[in-house]
Amino acid sequence: MRFISFREKAVVIAVLVLVSAVLALLLDAFHAEAGSIILTILQALGWYLASRLFRGPGESVRAARPWWRMTNRPLLSGVLAAVYGLVAVVNIGFSFAGWGSLSGTVSIIAELALAALFTLSYSRLSSLARATA
């Protein structure tokens, strides 16, 4: 199954965000540190899986997407890399301010991993765009 249209992608992202929000609220209500760690890992895997299933204009629907390709366009990869990097920096700041926890550390690691994947995607897609231009 591949998601090609904007509507299909929006539905998948909305479902991922809604499920994440509901689980985060439930786990926060129970103060479940282990549950928060599991949720962070599932969220990161969910976003990576979505990047495998989404296809942009001109991308083959049948062929597997390269492991490093997170989006179809370099700009989107760059923006998402910056967003995840910024969120990680903010969370690192909270940790140094005394709000740190094990689940917070796992979240920072997941954010940095996604930022690195999107940065690599940006770099490679930019190189491909320059080579074909």
The per-residue pLDDT for range 70-95, each reduced to its tens digit, is 999 999 999 999 999 999 999 999 99
Two structure tokens written together for 74: 């370099």
- Per the structure, the count of domains in the chain is 1
Q: Is the C-alpha dihedral spanning 120, 51, 54, 18 positive or negative?
A: negative
| Domain containing residue 58 | 6-132
21 part of a folded domain: yes
85 part of a folded domain: yes
Sequence length of the chain is 133
Say what the pTM is.
Answer: 0.86
Q: Which residues pair with 41 in a beta bridge?
A: none
The contacts of residue 110 (CB under 8 Å, 6+ apart) are 40, 41, 43, 44
Among candidate residues 55, 24, 39, 62, the one with its CA nearest the CA of residue 110: 39
66 part of a folded domain: yes
The per-residue pLDDT for range 103-119, each reduced to its tens digit, is 899 999 999 999 999 99
43 part of a folded domain: yes
1 part of a folded domain: no
25 part of a folded domain: yes
User: Does the pLDDT value for residue 38 go beyond 80?
Assistant: yes
Task: Give the separation between CA 75 and CA 89, rounded to whole angstroms.
Answer: 21
69 part of a folded domain: yes
